[in-house]
Amino acid sequence: MLQNQCAQILNKLELDVQFSFGFNLLKQFSGEGPCKGRVDLMKNVPTQKRAQQKMLALIDASRQSFIELGYDNTTAKVIAARAGVATGTFYQYFDNKVDILRVIAEQRITELSQQIPASEAKMASLEREASASRLTELLFLQVLTLIYEFHEQDPELHQVLEQRRGLDPELNEILEKGEALLEQKVRLFVQTYNVENPEVVAFNLFAMAEGLVHRHVFGQSKIPKNKVLASGAKMLASYLIQP
């Protein structure tokens, strides 16, 4: 019964990903080329290959600049120089560094959405091999691993985004999409159990999982990652596996 319910959840999540985030990083802004998706984040959408390459170089240069220099020390001039283009080229596509940071945030959500199907495939494989109690722990381990890898990727950039989201409602909205995607994974799984207030339980479990990841990724803990994730998964699963 539990395994059938989990399979239904996996199918629903896969469909949600396909319809809500059905574009990849190389097609993020234009109709068919490397720029499909949030056109409103940019002043102009390049259609020529050379112009697209310049724009992508600007995005990559800004990402590295935010990581190495922080938000305050990153300027349009710094980004353009790093990308090997004129400062005027930056302003062809973006009004300021706020806009390009939003584009980077959108990219992170795209990358996250692409990781979800692979994670679901691992979960489906676990279902065929694990007992019900062990399955719960392993599924939480997959969720924790996904959350961890999302935060572990460019942690300095993640901190810049977290610092700026309180000052930029649009950036905050973009980041909330990624968090909602992860929280939905927990919520749908919790709903397969006979617990009171599954929405509240899912919120609390996700908050605890995210707090655990934040503390380990940004706190420079000496405890090995695999031990933190394994122990965290066991603790989270223990709430649902009642004797």
Q: What is the pLDDT of residue 180?
A: 85
Q: What is the pLDDT of residue 40?
A: 59
Contact assessment for residue 100 and residue 59, using Cβ atoms and an 8 Å cutoff? yes
Contact assessment for residue 82 and residue 50, using Cβ atoms and an 8 Å cutoff? no
- List the structure tokens of 209: 């999982």
Contact assessment for residue 39 and residue 29, using Cβ atoms and an 8 Å cutoff? yes
177-240-188-144 Cα dihedral, nearest 10 degrees? 40
Distance CA 228, CA 238 (A): 15
Contact assessment for residue 109 and residue 173, using Cβ atoms and an 8 Å cutoff? no
Q: What is the pLDDT of residue 19?
A: 32
Strands (E), the chain: none
Q: What is the pLDDT of residue 241?
A: 73
Give the pLDDT of the chain (243 residues) as one tens digit per residue.
Answer: 444 444 444 444 333 333 333 333 334 444 443 334 455 567 777 778 888 899 999 999 999 999 999 999 999 999 999 999 999 999 999 999 999 999 999 888 888 777 766 556 665 665 555 565 678 888 888 888 888 888 888 889 999 999 999 999 999 999 998 888 878 878 877 887 778 888 898 889 889 988 999 999 888 788 999 999 999 999 988 888 765
Closest CA to 109 of 212, 15, 28: 28
Domains and CATH numbers, the chain: 2-240 (1.10.357.10)
Angstrom CA distances, 136 to 30, 186, 201, 233, stand at 41, 11, 15, 9
Residue type for 34, please?
P
Angstrom CA distances, 217 to 128, 185, 190, 214, stand at 32, 21, 26, 5
